[in-house]
Amino acid sequence: MIVVRELRKYFGEVKAVDGVSFEARDGEITGLLGPNGAGKTTTLRMLYSLLPPDSGEISIDGLDPTRDAMEIKRTLGVVPDGRGLYNRLTARENIRYYGDLHGLSKPEIDERIGELIETLDMEDFIDRRCEGFSHGQQVKVAIARAMVHRPQTVLLDEPSNGLDVMSTRALREFIRGLKRSGHSVVLSTHIMQEVAALCDRIVIIAKGKVAADGTGQELLERSGCESIEDAFVKLIGSEEGLLM
C-alpha cells in the first residue's frame, strides 16, 4: 500500500513534480499515465528513495523512503525505464547479483530463479550472456531481477517500451498475476492502451500535477466522453506525448 501526499520536487526553475497525491492499494494495479516529461519518472524515483522530495509525504506499507531507505528497498521491486542489464553476465548471473545484494542465501536464490524461469518463460536464454538480447528478453530479466527478493510492492517505469505484441501480452499476464497474488503494482506509462487494458486505478499526471484519478469508469463519467482514450486526452488537455 502506497500513500503519496502533496509530493513536490523542483529542479531549479523546473517544477518536475508539483503537488502529486495518490494511493496504490494492495491487490490493485495503479497506472500513472501522462505524456513524456510529465513527472512520472521523478515521482517513481522519490518512491524508491533515490531522490529526496522537496516536500510532501510518502508512505509505503507505513515506511518513509527518506527515513527508512534501506527497509523500503527491501520491500520494493523496481523495473526502471533503462533496463540496465550487464551484457557480459548471463541472465542467471544478473539475477543472482541482485539476490546477493539483497542478502539472500544461495539456496534461496537458486529456488527463486527456478520459479522465475518458469513464470517468465526464460528457459531458453537463462544461461546466455545478455549481449544481444531482444527487448522482450531484456524486460524479462529486468523483471526477474527486481522480483528475486519477493517484494510486496512492484514499481515498473514504462515496462512495455520497445516490446512486440507477443512480449507485451506476456508482460501484461505477468502483471495481472502479481495483482492476483495481492501485490501492490504501480506502473508508469504514456501509452493509453496499457492503462486501459491493465489498470484498476488510473492517475493522470500532466505538468507535474495530478489532472485526475479514479477507475476507468469514473474517469469516463467525469469527462463525459464516450471512449476512455478521449477521456484521457480531455483530462490532460492535450494529445502531445501520448500514444494510443
Partner 1 sequence: MNLRGLITVLRKETTENIRDRRAIFNSLLLGPILFPLMFIGIVWFTTAAEQERIQATLEIPVVGAERAASLIRFLEQQGVVIKPAPEDPEATVRRQEEMVVIRIPEGFEDHWSKGEPAPVEVIADPSRQESQVTIRRVKHLVASYGHQIGMLRLQLRGVAPQLTSAILIRDVDLSTAKSRAILAMIFLPYVLMITAFTGGMHLALDTTAGEKERRSLEPLLINPVPRWQIMTGKLLTTMIFAMASLALTLVAFKLVLPLMPVGAFGVDLTISVDGLLKILFVISPVAILAASLLTVLAAFAKTYREAQSYSGLVIMIPLIPSLIFMTNPVRPETWMMSIPLFSQNMLIGEIVRGEAVPLLWYSLSFGSTLIIGLVLAVVAATLYNRPRLIFSGS
Task: Name the residues that contact partner 1, by CB under 8 A.
Answer: 45, 48-52, 70-71, 73-74, 76, 78-89, 93, 97-98, 100-103, 142, 145-146
Closest approach, Cβ 19 to partner 1, in A, equals 20
Closest approach, Cβ 220 to partner 1, in A, equals 35
Strand order in the sheet with 55-60: 14-24, 2-11, 55-60
Nearer to partner 1, 186 or 196 (CB): 186
The amino acid at 146: A
Nearer to partner 1, 30 or 138 (CB): 138
CA-CA distances (angstroms) from residue 176 to 53, 146, 226, 241? 30, 16, 26, 26
Closest approach, Cβ 100 to partner 1, in A, equals 4
Distance CA 149, CA 241 (A): 35
Distance CA 91, CA 98 (A): 11
Nearer to partner 1, 93 or 229 (CB): 93
Closest approach, Cβ 91 to partner 1, in A, equals 14
Closest approach, Cβ 145 to partner 1, in A, equals 7
3-state secondary structure of 136: helix
How many H helices and E strands in the chain?
9, 9
Nearer to partner 1, 146 or 175 (CB): 146
Distance CA 22, CA 176 (A): 21
Nearer to partner 1, 96 or 201 (CB): 96
Distance CA 86, CA 93 (A): 9
